[in-house]
Structure 1
């Protein structure tokens, strides 16, 4: 079966989105945050601090604890397990408050600085017992009221069965197994503790209201397991992976524990993070400013195209965007129109005789891409992302190259990680796909900024960095 026919996650109806939003609100994380905010309010009221020192203490304590991910979602509600991280965060906050006092940044009153230090210590004395109570309350609620995430396990082998058994016997970990997904189960269907789901993973997630997908070992091809991870990731599920040689794995920032099994927690989909809204706002602002500032350049380029080869000046072409949705992409035409338009099925290569001097200049300087700023304003594209491709080539490449289809998890971009590494035009599709999927897996606002800076360097210096 070609990868193009691989069942893709479909857009959810509006009524299915609201439960997802509610499911992402983790009660334990909210309570832990509320406990710390209350403790900060109590200690800053108890000690004689002015508004400046109150702000310093609150920012140091809550900021450091948030950076240390003390308010994260978690399976294992263990105060003892979390205590070293919590104590370390408090120690860092104490050091920051001390530094502010030594530098006199919040006023030169030594007594106020000492009071702020005592406030931090008082915070620890109030917060830790309350956190212990929150963890105990969370475990009790999971056992008593079954406040657990509906979970699918991909892989119906010994490890998968053990994991499901642990979930059923220990609901305090917050996972409720509702089925296995495995095209080649190692055990007989009747021996499985929960049902074997015969439908596609995306359909099962939607039908069963699944919030967590656990990837255990399976006899299916490795690429199928990766496909499952991307599908779950794309549908907004929490994705946990049993690592190879799991017996040797140590606890770490992204490692959960389900009894004796370590589970690696994959990061959430970029489009579901709050920082993605910052990316979209930056796209709109930068694209609008660029359109205004570069409008004379676009007009001159359009005039040059008109004089060289006539109309149309703007070239319109159907491309594939996020979630395989087609959209019309705009470019300044760099190829002479000769008879029937075959651009949807013809790959343009270096030395194409249809490209005149103006077209070569526009392509060499990437000025032909400037009208895509309008696509960015419309929301069809982003400034940074995988480059969009034509539907026919998407079908062809998806059928040949593993995980090419997965690059459509985010909006396409005017520039991208593959492009700043020299993968433009007639270059390796495998390498492009690998860079694009790396970009999605490691997306951050800083990565976007770095790609933009590399793009500017590439345009100015004409060499890859």
Structure 2
């Protein structure tokens, strides 16, 4: 098997604990609500309401104003969480968003004439800017004051106890207005003696420290540890729902950008939140349920005919049940139409079926070639064991083996497994490289979006059609 190897002896990697997301308590949920972002939304909503009342452009133009002003400003990420509460730093983005909203209002007035009140709506946009900008200045000043006065700061762990890490901790302690309160270092190879460190050097691993201390932010600074250990730390923090900030290489040359925070003179890259914590993930789950239910109804005759063919070729059982590993390493029973003849003891949990397997008859080969044997997994999707798109699930024994051999194979289990996935539409099915599959799966998780799921589904259809025509 390409990329698998033959070693089965457990190693440290195979015994690696895979951290599971923390159960969110009421206090956790409250702490994740960013007060500054809420106040900025409230300021803009109030300003929109005030100008709508003052200029009375009418119901239709008021709707256009709300959509243009609030929609554009949200798209420009003016309501994001941030470390640096600087009105001057945010002013160009805010003015640009208002200018785009003004252009949209003008365009609506020009295209098709627009409803009466277009001029009033334009004046309302200008008045909005005059009202909102001073209020935003007050919000930022108030936020900085609250962080200094009431220590409304995220508990923070710094991974990497070198010069950069120590400088970052010093900046957090001297400038609480950035909203970070350092509670410890995690570094297996600190650059200085632990007595010289400004905060505690923790002997426990990162997952335990995050859980014990209720940490909300993890900062990845430079460390003498292996690069893979730093990546492991990022994935662990990500999986446990922490805000993850990374000091980039050659940070002295980094310019400010949409995903760059500033802690004094240090740029910090903000990694995206875990896919499963985003509101769009609920949309994904709703679409999974809807599509799986419709597909089961529509394809019921096809499944029945395939089941009959399996029964006539090799008898019962028609449905094959097998334990697979899903999200957060939880086992579940996966359902498939049986494509392998049952010849005595079931060794499917430890035997890899490859092309040319003599146990696979003509019906089984057809089911595998067309992927019709996978259709019963629609029931797994309805049950919540799987998703339509995600990393393909594997058997527990192989998960242990692959995790012992391949770096970050374990990280595939941060999201539910899928009926199809990014690796599969790139030809990585069956007896193919585990390293490449793992790399594609982790890329999918890091870059997940609803559009990426749609693209993978379309590519899956293309793969099935092309294979059937070969």
Same fold by TM-score, threshold 0.5 exceeded?
Answer: yes
How far apart in 2 are the matches of 1:76 and 1:215? 18
Q: CA RMSD in A?
A: 1.5
Q: Cα–Cα, structure 1 residues 70 and 351, in superposed 2: closer, same or farther, change >3 Å?
A: same
Q: Cα–Cα, structure 1 residues 5 and 208, in superposed 2: closer, same or farther, change >3 Å?
A: closer
Greater relative contact order structure (CA < 8 Å, 6+ sep): 2
Q: CA deviation at 1:48?
A: 2.4
How far apart in 1 are the matches of 2:173 and 2:75? 33
Q: Deviations over 1:85-124 (max 9, x none)?
A: 00000000000000000013xx6455434x1111011100
Q: Are the counterparts in 1 of residues 61 and 117 from structure 2 also a CA contact under 8 Å? A: no
- Length-normalised TM-score, structure 2: 0.95
Aligned: 1:304 with 2:309: yes
Q: CA deviation at 1:19?
A: 2.8
Q: Cα–Cα, structure 1 residues 3 and 88, in superposed 2: closer, same or farther, change >3 Å?
A: farther
Aligned: 1:225 with 2:233: no
Match of 1:76 among 69, 73, 84: 84
Q: CA deviation at 1:16?
A: 4.8
SS of the residue corresponding to residue 109 of structure 1 reads coil
Q: CA deviation at 1:6?
A: 6.4
Q: Deviations over 1:136-184 (max 9, x none)?
A: 0000000000000000000001000000000000000000000000011
How far apart in 1 are the matches of 2:456 and 2:469? 12
Q: CA deviation at 1:24?
A: 1.6
Q: 21-30 or 132-141, which moves further after superposition?
A: 21-30
Q: CA deviation at 1:21?
A: 1.7
Aligned length: 457
Q: Deviations over 1:416-445 (max 9, x none)?
A: 000000000000000000000000000000
Q: Are the counterparts in 1 of residues 254 and 267 from structure 2 also a CA contact under 8 Å? A: yes
Q: CA deviation at 1:310?
A: 0.2
Q: Are the counterparts in 1 of residues 338 and 364 from structure 2 also a CA contact under 8 Å? A: yes
Q: Are the counterparts in 1 of residues 160 and 187 from structure 2 also a CA contact under 8 Å? A: yes
How far apart in 2 are the matches of 1:269 and 1:16? 14
How far apart in 2 are the matches of 1:359 and 1:463? 15
How far apart in 1 are the matches of 2:16 and 2:201? 25
Q: Deviations over 1:258-281 (max 9, x none)?
A: 000000000000000000000000
Q: Are the counterparts in 1 of residues 187 and 201 from structure 2 also a CA contact under 8 Å? A: yes
Q: Cα–Cα, structure 1 residues 284 and 187, in superposed 2: closer, same or farther, change >3 Å?
A: same
Q: Are the counterparts in 2 of residues 3 and 400 from structure 1 also a CA contact under 8 Å? A: no
Q: Are the counterparts in 2 of residues 3 and 405 from structure 1 also a CA contact under 8 Å? A: no
Q: CA deviation at 1:461?
A: 1.4
Q: Deviations over 1:395-426 (max 9, x none)?
A: 00000001000000000000000000000000
Aligned: 1:360 with 2:351: no
SS of the residue corresponding to residue 101 of structure 1 reads helix
Q: CA deviation at 1:18?
A: 2.9
How far apart in 2 are the matches of 1:57 and 1:99? 12
How far apart in 2 are the matches of 1:162 and 1:205? 21
Q: CA deviation at 1:17?
A: 3.3
Q: Cα–Cα, structure 1 residues 125 and 142, in superposed 2: closer, same or farther, change >3 Å?
A: same
How far apart in 2 are the matches of 1:187 and 1:170? 23
Q: Are the counterparts in 2 of residues 384 and 451 from structure 1 also a CA contact under 8 Å? A: yes
Q: CA deviation at 1:4?
A: 4.2
SS of the residue corresponding to residue 215 of structure 2 reads coil
Aligned: 1:6 with 2:18: yes
Match of 2:73 among 65, 69, 75: 65
Q: Deviations over 1:13-50 (max 9, x none)?
A: x8653333222210000000000000000001100211
SS of the residue corresponding to residue 408 of structure 2 reads coil
SS of the residue corresponding to residue 469 of structure 2 reads coil
Q: CA deviation at 1:200?
A: 1.2
How far apart in 2 are the matches of 1:192 and 1:247? 24
Q: Deviations over 1:191-215 (max 9, x none)?
A: 0000011111111000000000000
SS of the residue corresponding to residue 15 of structure 1 reads coil
Match of 2:431 among 417, 426, 430: 426
Q: Are the counterparts in 2 of residues 3 and 402 from structure 1 also a CA contact under 8 Å? A: no
Q: Are the counterparts in 2 of residues 336 and 354 from structure 1 also a CA contact under 8 Å? A: yes
How far apart in 1 are the matches of 2:155 and 2:114? 55
How far apart in 1 are the matches of 2:165 and 2:289? 45
